[in-house]
Amino acid sequence: MVIVNSYPLAVILCFVIMLCWGSWGNTQKAAAKSWRYELFYWDYVIGMVIFSLLLALTLGSFGTEGRHFFQDLAQADIANIGWIVLGGFIFNASNILLSASTSIAGMSVAFPLGCGLALVLGVFNNLRVEMAQGALKSNVPLLALGVALVVVAVILNGVASGKKGSSNISKADQRKGVILALVAGIVMSFFSSFVMRAMDLKDFANMEAGKVGPYTAIVVFSLAVLASHFIFGPLVMKKPFLGEPVSMKAYFKGDAKTHIVGMLGGMIWCLGTALSYIAAGKAGASVSYALGQGAPMVAAIWGIFIWKEFKGSSKKVYGLLAAMFLFFIIGLGLIVVSGN
């Protein structure tokens, strides 16, 4: 399989992760003009599975280092497969909440709050896994300081969203969107550590028997997300967070372009997640996750400058947003240095 053997390359991949995790929401925004997020999400999880298999059968099956995908899958302990499946179920529950928040409050609110909180809690969950495996690769004080600055950025975004100017969203719906984002962030913080627990983070080229590599992890994870959606999907369609219930009949009435947009969203997210697992072998689980969860800054850029979600806001609000970006950038810089 293809693996990463240099820290600078791992950091570059982490910024690609950030771009992917912060940009997939654009596909939901684009589809939302004529498509409910509950319907969009079916295509999203299908796109994840397709792209994970594509990666496993190419990058995961080429190269001379480590176990190839099918070899790796065949020797995996059932317990480790179970940890990944659990991570997939947890992620799907949290991401549904994040998608609901995005559909209600917008990208510039949902992503910084939800993903920012997931970053803070998730980093420390991943640190515990690294320490348990003896694979700690980061300077913990520097990492903690970087995460603390990101917390400040998240708080600033929350204050700015509360003071947002003209909007078609009622105050009640705005609060609902914020609450959904916060719950999503707490739940999302756990999924990565369960997946990393099943992987051998010390050396992808010479992995411990029973542990799995990044390509096996992303395939099992994506399949778990799809399987879990047969439980979660009907629930949110019958009891949506906003609007009337929707049926699967509506899904099959969607045109090809709408379905492709949803699948593209899943593929973008899957690419970011696969790179997170690949980069973890060199950068460490906590650093690769932390940098990837810098996605809120990317999502905020999309929400502010492309989707105009803060249009009509005061100078004070834009000042808060500028401060948010500053703290995010400094915090992410410290996270990069902490793993060098």
72 in Cβ contact with 215 (< 8 Å): yes
Average pLDDT for 234-255: 92
pLDDT level of residue 192 (50, 70, 90 thresholds): very high
Token output for 230: 């047969």
* Domain extent for 314: 7-338
Closest CA to 37 of 26, 47, 29: 29
Give the containing element (helix H, strand E) for 92: helix 78-105
Strand, coil or helix: 212: strand
The first and second tokens of residue 264, run together, are 């593209």
At 199, is the secondary structure helix, strand, or coil? Answer: strand
Calpha distance 301→92 (Å, rounded)? 25
Tell me the pLDDT of the chain averaged across its residues: 89
2 belongs to a structural domain:
no
Q: Is residue 185, in this structure, part of any structural domain at all?
A: yes
Q: Is the pLDDT of residue 320 over 70?
A: yes
User: Has residue 80 got a pLDDT over 60?
Assistant: yes
SS3 166: coil
Which of the residue ranges 40-44, 114-118, 190-194 would you say has the lowest mean pLDDT?
Answer: 114-118
- State CA 298 to chain mean position distance: 12
- Please list, residue by residue across 12-32, b when 16 or more beta carbons sit within 10 angstroms of its beta carbon and e when fewer do: ebbbbbbbbbbbbbbbbbbbe
Residue 111 or 340, more confident: 111
- Residues with Cβ within 8 Å of residue 231, at least 6 apart in sequence: none
Calculate the dihedral angle through the C-alpha atoms of 275, 277, 48, 153, rounding to the nearest 10 degrees: -70
Calpha distance 35→224 (Å, rounded): 25
pLDDT for the residue 243: 85
One-letter amino acid identity for 164?
A: K
More confident residue, 289 or 87: 87
pTM of the model: 0.87
pLDDT on residue 165: 58
Comparing 1-5, 27-31, 294-298, 326-330, which segment has the lowest mean pLDDT? 294-298
Which value, to the nearest 10 degrees, does the dihedral of the CA atoms of residues 21, 44, 186, 127 take? -50
**Mean pLDDT value across residues 177-199:** 92
Number of domains in the chain: 1
* pLDDT value, residue 156: 86
Assign 84 a pLDDT band (cuts: 50, 70, 90).
very high
Is pLDDT of 122 > 60? yes
Residue 212: strand pairing partners: 199
Q: If pLDDT is split at 50, 70 and 90, which confidence band does 8 have?
A: very high
Of 177-191, 224-238, 243-257, 287-301, minimum mean pLDDT range = 287-301
The answer to whether residue 1 is domain-embedded is no
Distance CA(23)–CA(154), nearest Å, equals 18
Cα separation, 21 vs 18, in Å, equals 5
Between these two residues, 11 and 224, which has the higher pLDDT value? 224
- 130 vs 293 pLDDT, higher one: 130
Whether pLDDT at 328 is above 90: no
Tell me how far apart the alpha carbons of residues 33 and 309 are, in angstroms, rounded to a whole number. Answer: 15
* pLDDT average, residue stretch 14-31: 89
Can you read off the two tokens belonging to residue 285?
């689980």
Q: How confident is the model at residue 264 (pLDDT cuts 50, 70, 90)?
A: very high
Burial of 325 (0-12, 13-18, 19+ CB in 10 A): middle
Rounded CA separation 217/80 (Å): 9
The torsion region of residue 239 among left (phi > 0), alpha (psi -120 to 50) and beta comes to: beta
Burial class (CB in 10 A: 0-12, 13-18, 19+), 37: buried
Residue 199: beta bridge partners?
A: 212
Q: Are 87 and 212 in contact (CB under 8 A)?
A: no
| Residue with the larger pLDDT of the pair 154 and 96 | 96
Place of tokens 């409910």: 36
- The number of residues making up the chain comes to 340
